[in-house]
């Protein structure tokens, strides 16, 4: 059997093949993109020429008689064609409102090129299209509505086609040179890179679930394997942080759940110590039912928080009208605020779309508004509005309540973190943690500012460009 190729040679060949395929795809893309841009330049030439002529025509119409305007237009069309670069193949024609030629020069002279039907019907101000006027290459023709008719401007596509052919020739000639250089470079890189594989393997074997503190050493070359080692170290760090977060979460959850469970057990034990009347049993069962409902909500909150850590479900992500989303939240909480004599003001954003899970975002906004109502008193005011900054928008919930003490703000988004003012109040300290996880999953951030005069939360989210699809955030 013939000897097999070395790993270095195989890597070099694979690297060369990958680069060859990439270059082929890239070349096709570049050629098409260059062709598109060059053709667009041709369109711009006709559009600019047409617009300049229209601007002058409008001025002439305001200052001169129709006969003078006609004479000026004929002279101007011929003058523009005569002074243009001959290779441009410029043609200009003015037609009346029924599409009949009034004056023409250059490549459009005698062509009787019809005006598109939609422009004749008045359905649009301009059209640009490619038209074969009998030459080797198509002409780019722009027709624009003008006072009293239409203006057509054409340029020959030869120079643009020649530029595209030149780009294609350059890419074709460079392809074999780049491949040869890639093969040599790939072989050299493969030989040097293989030297660090053994060390990565030995270190990776020592890293286990009980030993997540060790890191794969870097040799400082910043090559592919060095980047791989750095990536693995970052992955190990994320795993370690996740494990530590799960351990803290479990400890906190056990602590938070053990208190109400012990209370239920003690209450049932005391109840069963002796016989009681049906009314007493009913009161105890109602109390236990309330506590169980409280525990159920806690578990549901923990599950929601856990689901947000897994990221967005692409099947639930869609384009959302921010105004409609906030309308639903504010409409739900308005009666609650009114019942407590709290003023709830809402400034509705218009024409803003975001991308995300509607249920999750509604949950985040609801948590902030629920907190604001909870801590405001009679006569206080809550404002819900937005603030735009480039490609991002902030949903702002501000209130005139007592504010959050400065020493508690740093940990306000931690799980099971509750302010001292919350002592004895219902809740689990998961609401703001859930808000932060939801907003982070949507590629946003949460900002907090507070004083003794009130609190302001801002949820910043990326604005979805008009016409963008409904894919999940990357």
- Write the pLDDT tens digit of every residue in 381-431: 999 999 998 899 999 999 998 888 877 777 777 766 655 555 445 555 677
Which two tokens mark 468? 């963008």
Q: In this predicted structure, what is the pLDDT of residue 195?
A: 66
pLDDT of residue 471: 47
467: number of Cβ within 10 Å: 7
* Residue 57 backbone class (left: φ over 0; alpha: ψ -120 to 50; beta: rest): alpha
- Determine the pLDDT at residue 423: 47
DSSP β-ladder status, 149-156 and 139-146 = antiparallel
Identify the weakest region by mean pLDDT among 8-12, 54-58, 132-136, 252-256.
252-256
Compute the chain's Rg from CA coordinates: 36
The reported pLDDT for the residue numbered 298 is 62
Please provide the average confidence, as pLDDT, over all residues in the chain: 78
pTM: 0.44
Q: What is the pLDDT of residue 203?
A: 77
User: Where do the domains of the chain lie, and which CATH numbers do they carry?
Assistant: 7-162 (3.30.450.20), 224-309 (1.10.287), 314-462 (3.30.565.10)
Q: Is the pLDDT of residue 456 over 50?
A: yes
DSSP 422: G
Order across the sheet with 101-106: list the strands: 101-106, 91-96, 149-156, 139-146, 126-131
Alpha carbons 317 and 310: distance in angstroms, whole number: 14
**Residue 453 DSSP symbol:** T
**What average pLDDT does the segment 315-330 reach?**
89
In this prediction, residue 344 carries a pLDDT of 93
Q: CA triplet 348, 350, 353: central angle to 5 degrees?
A: 110
CA 382 to the chain's CA centroid: 30
**Backbone phi, then psi, for 93, in 5-degree steps?**
-145, 135
The strand pairing partners of 399, in sequence order, are: 382, 455
Q: What is the mean pLDDT of residues 176-181?
A: 79
């Amino acid at each position: 059997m013939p000897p097999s190729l070395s790993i270095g040679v195989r890597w070099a060949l694979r690297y060369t093949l990958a680069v060859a395929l990439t270059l082929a795809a890239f070349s096709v893309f570049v050629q098409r993109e260059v062709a598109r841009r060059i053709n667009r330049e041709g369109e711009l030439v006709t559009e600019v020429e047409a617009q300049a002529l229209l601007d002058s025509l409008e001025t002439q119409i305001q200052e001169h008689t129709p006969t003078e305007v006609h004479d000026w237009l004929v002279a101007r069309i011929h003058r523009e064609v005569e002074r243009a670069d001959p290779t441009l193949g410029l043609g200009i024609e003015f037609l009346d409102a029924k599409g009949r030629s009034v004056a023409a020069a250059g490549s459009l002279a005698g062509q009787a090129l019809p005006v598109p039907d939609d422009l004749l019907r008045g359905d649009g101000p301009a059209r640009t299209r490619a038209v074969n006027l009998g030459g080797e290459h198509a002409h780019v023709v722009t027709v624009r509505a003008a006072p009293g008719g239409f203006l057509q401007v054409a340029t020959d596509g030869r120079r643009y086609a020649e530029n595209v052919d030149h780009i294609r020739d350059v890419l074709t000639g460079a392809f074999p040179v780049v491949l040869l250089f890639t093969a040599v470079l790939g072989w050299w890189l493969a030989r040097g890179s293989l030297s660090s594989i053994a060390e990565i393997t030995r270190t990776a074997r020592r890293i286990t679930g009980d030993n997540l503190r060790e890191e794969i050493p870097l040799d400082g070359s910043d090559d592919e394997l060095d980047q791989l080692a750095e990536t693995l170290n970052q992955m190990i760090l994320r795993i370690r942080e996740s494990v530590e977060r799960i351990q803290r979460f479990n400890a906190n959850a056990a602590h938070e759940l053990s208190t109400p469970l012990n209370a239920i057990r003690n209450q049932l034990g005391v109840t069963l110590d002796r016989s009681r009347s049906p009314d007493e049993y009913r009161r105890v069962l109602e109390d236990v039912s309330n506590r169980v409902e409280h525990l159920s909500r806690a578990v549901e909150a923990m599950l929601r928080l856990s689901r947000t850590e897994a990221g967005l479900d692409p099947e639930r992500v869609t384009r959302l009208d921010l105004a409609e989303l906030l309308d639903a939240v504010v409409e739900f909480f308005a009666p609650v605020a009114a019942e407590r004599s709290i003023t709830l003001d809402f400034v509705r954003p218009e024409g803003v779309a975001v991308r995300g899970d509607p249920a999750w975002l509604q949950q985040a906004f609801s948590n902030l508004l629920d907190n604001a109502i909870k801590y405001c008193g009679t006569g206080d005011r809550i404002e819900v509005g937005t603030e735009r900054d480039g490609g991002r928008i902030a949903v702002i919930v501000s209130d005139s309540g007592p504010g959050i003490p400065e020493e508690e703000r740093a940990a306000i988004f931690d799980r099971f973190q509750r302010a001292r003012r919350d002592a004895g109040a219902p809740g689990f300290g998961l609401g703001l943690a859930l808000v932060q996880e939801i907003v982070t999953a949507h590629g946003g951030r949460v900002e907090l500012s507070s004083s003794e005069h009130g609190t302001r939360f801002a949820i910043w989210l990326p604005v979805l460009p008009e016409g963008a699809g409904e894919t999940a955030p990357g």
